[in-house]
């Protein structure tokens, strides 16, 4: 097992916080904090993905008769 310090905030060691904020037995992955971060990240990626052309150049096609 790797013993590494938390990067931002260690919610698991804060017993005064409610279970829905720390994730309780599920760990931080089950908390509302992580859910909000993932939702915001997904929305940002979805919006930015639609607004970029990703470097694809469409070649003109000849109209079919």
Averaged pLDDT of the chain: 76
What mean pLDDT comes out for the span 28-48? 87
Q: Quote the tokens at residue 26.
A: 């599920």
CA triple 11-21-15, angle to 5 deg: 55
Q: Report the C-alpha gap between 51 and 20 in whole angstroms.
A: 35
Give the model's pLDDT for residue 15: 76
Let me know if residue 31 belongs to a domain: yes
- pLDDT-based confidence at residue 45 (cuts at 50, 70, 90): confident
Let me know if residue 21 belongs to a domain: yes
Instruction: Classify the C-alpha dihedral 21-29-37-39 as positive or negative.
Output: negative
Domain count, the chain: 1
Give the model's pLDDT for residue 39: 95
Let me know if residue 5 belongs to a domain: no
Domain that includes residue 33, residue range = 15-45
């Amino acid at each position: 097992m790797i013993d590494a310090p938390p990067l931002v905030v260690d919610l698991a060691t804060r017993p005064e916080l409610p279970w829905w904020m720390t994730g309780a037995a599920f760990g931080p992955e089950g908390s509302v904090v992580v859910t909000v971060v993932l939702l915001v990240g997904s929305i940002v990626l979805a919006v930015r993905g639609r607004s970029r052309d990703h470097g694809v150049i469409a070649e003109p096609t000849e109209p079919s008769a």
